[in-house]
Structure 1
């Protein structure tokens, strides 16, 4: 009737359908699902970028990301094997040294790569689809797989060409690598904030890490250290990581000092603290 009385106004548009309260949980679920898959796609893209840029200018590309640490650790193992004939545990110094240096080098490489996540991906973090968390997770995932491949090649190579008289327990080896990943991710996450926030911390950290190779029980076992130095070294989480790896290969080695609670508790605590600082200040760090 109103259209007939006021023909100049024309027909009124149909009213918009009102969203019911029952639709809200479904909409929120779809938004979360979209964000989750977007994050996975971003992490996958960052991992592929990492593979392409790792020794990307060299012939062989990603192959050298595995061959370089394998070659370096193998060379060091052979050199020290010539000077040390009788290891503290087992009969092969090469295997004894490898059970210490492999997790140690994995920690050094992974913690350093994770610490540089924001600077490495700073140009991509300006896009809304890429977050600093994606950059951290991509580097952790990429370097975890790389270090597992490096360790596998080294341990299998030594076992194939030398008489080691070891009995690897794969469940204990998996726990050892989990300890490496957690503590390396924790130190890397904290340093990711510290390196970007304080310019003096990176050279200071480099100085502090110089003697860590000598106090991580790579050339000796924790049980042979006299007091009070033994109590001091216990607080070094890498001592626990190396001890876990050695008792995984040598069933006769008890390694009672190894504490899962300390390593995983310290690692998860530092990760939580590092992420809290990055969430609070990551925009300022990106723009600095």
Structure 2
């Protein structure tokens, strides 16, 4: 009798383990990064105003109240604005973008230093710290902007015609420059010990040089050509043309603002990626 031999089953082909592992690792890293950013945002909210009664309310009310108070004071001294009929609105269209830029730039610049203790954990990266502060402070400044301009519109006859798309563009320009300068300074503050105090001194005259109390068109030559290189001139000009459709703001250059912002952001990010561990350990 012939004995039937059974053929051993062929081994099943398995998908390369590395492919699944790589996808899972990437997915896990994305979720871990989102969780870290969310935790850092909550920490920012708690440490900034968490102990005060009202909590996050004061993050909006404090700068909004300060700008409204300064607006009222300057309204008494300057009754006739260069454009429009309300000095409060004219002043706010310059002061709010200026303070928004300053806040975002300063908070972003201190992101790594602020979260230095948490960066020792492998789950938290310097990018998480940057993105958390950028997100938190950008949203806060948008809410401050909304509160201030709503309050002025309710209590004064401003005779303005706000264009929401143009206002959004001005806010985007403000955030872009604030983030770009902040990321660049985030590296420079850690790499050069004297840069922080020097930067503070350099920023003092920018209140005057950013055309908050006057308009760029009234600046005589050759100073007008020099001031044009200040990106805040373009941001404030865009904000004013968004509220005053009759104000052309022909000097505003989106290419310059976004080009400068993206260039500084890319350079700062490249330097931080290369040297942030060395700076942390120094």
- Provide the TM-score with structure 1 as the length reference: 0.92
Q: How far does residue 18 in structure 1 lie from its aligned partner after superposition?
A: 8.4
Which is further off, 48-57 or 151-160?
Answer: 48-57
Map 1:7-18 → 2, pairs under 5 A: none
Quote the Cα distance in structure 1 between the aligned partners of 2:15 and 2:139: 47
Quote the Cα distance in structure 2 between the aligned partners of 1:20 and 1:95: 65
1:97 to 91, 96, 103: 91
1:63 to 35, 57, 60: 57
Partner residue in 1 for 2:268:
274
Quote the Cα distance in structure 1 between the aligned partners of 2:39 and 2:106: 21
Quote the Cα distance in structure 2 between the aligned partners of 1:215 and 1:63: 32
Q: How far does residue 200 in structure 1 lie from its aligned partner after superposition?
A: 0.4
1:148 to 132, 142, 147: 142
Map 1:197-208 → 2, pairs under 5 A: 197-208=191-202
Quote the Cα distance in structure 2 between the aligned partners of 1:118 and 1:150: 25
Aligned-residue Cα RMSD (Å) equals: 1.4
Q: How far does residue 25 in structure 1 lie from its aligned partner after superposition?
A: 3.6
2:242 to 230, 243, 248: 248
Quote the Cα distance in structure 2 between the aligned partners of 1:170 and 1:74: 21
Quote the Cα distance in structure 2 between the aligned partners of 1:240 and 1:107: 12
Query: SS of the residue aligned with 2:73?
Result: helix
Q: How far does residue 285 in structure 1 lie from its aligned partner after superposition?
A: 1.4
- The answer to whether the aligner puts 1:224 opposite 2:218 as a matched pair is yes
1:111 to 95, 100, 105: 105
- The answer to whether the aligner puts 1:157 opposite 2:151 as a matched pair is yes
Query: SS of the residue aligned with 1:58?
Result: coil
Deviations 1:58-89 (A, max 9, x none): 22222211111011100100000001111111
Q: How far does residue 24 in structure 1 lie from its aligned partner after superposition?
A: 3.8
Quote the Cα distance in structure 2 between the aligned partners of 1:78 and 1:167: 21
Structure-2 change in CA distance of 1:100 and 1:19 (3 Å): same
5+ residue gaps in structure 1?
Answer: 1-15
Quote the Cα distance in structure 2 between the aligned partners of 1:20 and 1:94: 67
Deviations 1:83-119 (A, max 9, x none): 1111111100000000000000000111000000011
Quote the Cα distance in structure 2 between the aligned partners of 1:266 and 1:17: 57
Query: SS of the residue aligned with 1:243?
Result: helix
Q: How far does residue 28 in structure 1 lie from its aligned partner after superposition?
A: 2.1
Partner residue in 1 for 2:227:
233
Q: How far does residue 17 in structure 1 lie from its aligned partner after superposition?
A: 9.0
Q: How far does residue 284 in structure 1 lie from its aligned partner after superposition?
A: 1.2
- Provide the TM-score with structure 2 as the length reference: 0.94
Partner residue in 1 for 2:3:
none
Partner residue in 1 for 2:43:
49
Partner residue in 2 for 1:195:
189
